[in-house]
């Protein structure tokens, strides 16, 4: 079932989104070689509580942390850990903020120290693909338009889009209908309607799209061991077009 949100509900989710965008900016400024994803986890938990919010991922389906921290070939749902990040690593930090019952979900891939040009290109293409998907998130368009815009661009750049994890509706809980694949055919799938709030969160791999699950039963990695990046925003479908609720205002 799809729950469309009122202007008021969207406004409250926007507040949560603003806080989440600020958290990503703080993380960006703290990341450097030597810090750990557990340091980031502790910072986020603390920051959210100081700002009257909670980390919605903690306890969600048994997940134990406020953040997911996915390093290099990890696609998503990496656990925060005590191993120091090294120069040249990339790390995707994903979290869901709950502010007075309103949720917002956003992920960002950060770089650690200097990275090589090929890795930078992966990040740039992944971020651009997110915005190409968002551009399609308009009343009357279909879900397949979003996936098609992302997939066609990413594949033209020589990368692949993960199939095993999708974007999703978000509201009172993290995952609601409808599901938003980051691949697909233009003009196919359900029509987007005013008041839908969805996440768009392409995960892009240097090699093939196939993934494998770690023994922890959470963390997905690229099957071929190549790097994977991800950018995610929470977006409302409005009369004025896509409204990005977790914008970071920095490219």
Question: Residues in the site for ligand MF3, rule: CB under 6 A?
Answer: 57, 60-61, 63, 68, 77, 94, 96, 105, 174, 199, 201, 232
Question: Which does residue 24 bind out of Co ion, ligand MF3, none, counting CB within 5 to 8 angstroms by kind?
Answer: none
Q: At its nearest, how many Å lie between ligand MF3 and the CB of residue 31?
A: 19
Is 105 an interacting residue with respect to Co ion (CB under 5 A)? yes
Q: Tell me which residue of 82, 78, 18, 77 sits closest to 53, measured CA to CA.
A: 18
Question: Whose Cβ is closer to ligand MF3: residue 112's or residue 180's?
Answer: 180
CA torsion 101-55-12-245 (nearest 10°) is -150
Question: Which does residue 148 bind out of ligand MF3, Co ion, none, counting CB within 5 to 8 angstroms by kind?
Answer: none
Q: At its nearest, how many Å lie between ligand MF3 and the CB of residue 251?
A: 21
Binding residues with Co ion: total (CB under 5 A) = 4
Is 94 an interacting residue with respect to Co ion (CB under 5 A)? yes
**Residue 181 and residue 170: Cα distance in Å, rounded?**
15
CA torsion 225-231-232-237 (nearest 10°) is -130
Q: At its nearest, how many Å lie between ligand MF3 and the CB of residue 239?
A: 26
Give the phi and the psi of residue 184 in degrees, each rounded to 5.
145, -170
Question: Which does residue 61 bind out of Co ion, ligand MF3, none, counting CB within 5 to 8 angstroms by kind?
Answer: ligand MF3
Is 56 an interacting residue with respect to Co ion (CB under 5 A)? no
Cα-to-chain-centroid distance, residue 4: 21
Q: At its nearest, how many Å lie between ligand MF3 and the CB of residue 114?
A: 28
Structure tokens at 119: 């890795």
Question: Whose Cβ is closer to ligand MF3: residue 6's or residue 217's?
Answer: 217
**Residue 139 and residue 191: Cα distance in Å, rounded?**
7
Question: Whose Cβ is closer to ligand MF3: residue 64's or residue 185's?
Answer: 64
The stretch among 74-82, 98-106, 149-157, 219-227 that binds Co ion (CB under 5 A) is 98-106
Is 89 an interacting residue with respect to Co ion (CB under 5 A)? no
Q: At what angle do helices 143-156 and 117-135 cross, to 10 degrees?
A: 160
**How many angstroms separate the Cα of 243 from the Cα of each of 9, 13, 98, 235, 238?**
13, 11, 19, 5, 7
Which residues contribute to the site for Co ion (CB under 5 A)? 94, 105, 107, 232
């Amino acid at each position: 079932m799809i729950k469309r949100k009122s202007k008021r509900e969207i406004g409250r989710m926007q507040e949560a989104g603003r806080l989440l965008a600020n958290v990503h900016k703080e993380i960006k400024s703290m990341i450097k070689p030597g810090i750990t994803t557990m340091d980031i986890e502790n910072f986020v938990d603390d920051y959210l509580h100081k700002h009257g919010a909670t980390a919605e991922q903690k306890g969600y389906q048994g997940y134990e942390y406020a953040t997911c921290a996915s390093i290099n070939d990890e696609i998503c749902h990496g656990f925060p850990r005590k191993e120091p990040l090294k120069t040249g690593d990339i790390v995707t930090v994903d979290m869901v903020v709950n502010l007075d019952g309103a949720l917002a979900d956003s992920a960002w891939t950060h770089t650690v120290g200097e990275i090589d040009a090929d890795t930078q290109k992966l990040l740039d293409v992944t971020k651009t693909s997110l915005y190409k998907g968002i551009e399609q998130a308009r009343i009357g368009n279909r879900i397949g338009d979003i996936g098609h815009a992302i997939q066609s661009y990413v594949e033209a750049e020589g990368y692949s889009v993960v199939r095993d994890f999708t974007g999703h509706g978000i509201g009172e809980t993290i995952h609601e209908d409808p599901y938003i694949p980051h691949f697909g055919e233009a003009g196919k799938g359900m029509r987007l309607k005013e008041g839908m709030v969805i996440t768009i969160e392409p995960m892009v791999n240097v090699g093939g799209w196939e993934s494998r699950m770690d023994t922890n039963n959470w963390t997905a990695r690229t099957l071929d061991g190549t790097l994977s990046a991800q950018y995610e925003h929470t977006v409302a479908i409005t009369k004025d077009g896509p409204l990005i609720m977790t914008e970071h205002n920095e490219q």
